[in-house]
């Protein structure tokens, strides 16, 4: 959208560091912060979770990434209990 982390953080009422952590998938925002981010980006809340504008290939890559993350977490959990 051509908006910097600093501008988004200011509009959403949070820090640039927090926005960076969310983008890097190190933190998940609260429901309240999700609402503020959506408002700052001029989206409806539900549009943050909509797959509408994404290509089928992008959705497949996203799903593969989710599966790989889950498999890695399960493998790490299994290794820690054995």
Domain residues of the chain, as ranges? 1-50, 52-82
Cα–Cα dist 56/54, whole Å? 7
**pLDDT band at residue 52 using 50, 70 and 90 as cut-offs:** low
Query: Does the domain made of 1-50 have the CATH classification 2.60.34.30?
Result: no
pTM: 0.56
Per-residue pLDDT, averaged over 19-43, amounts to 88
**pLDDT band at residue 51 using 50, 70 and 90 as cut-offs:** low
**pLDDT band at residue 57 using 50, 70 and 90 as cut-offs:** confident
Burial 66-78 (b: 16+ CB within 10 A, else e): eeeeeeeeeeeee
């Amino acid at each position: 959208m051509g908006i910097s982390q600093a501008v988004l953080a200011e509009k959403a009422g949070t820090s640039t560091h927090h926005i960076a952590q969310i983008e890097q998938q190190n933190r998940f925002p609260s429901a309240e912060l999700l609402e503020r981010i959506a408002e700052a980006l001029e989206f409806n809340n539900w549009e943050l979770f909509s797959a509408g504008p994404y290509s089928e290939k992008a959705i497949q890559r996203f799903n593969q990434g989710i599966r790989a993350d889950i498999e890695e977490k399960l493998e790490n959990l299994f290794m820690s209990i054995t």
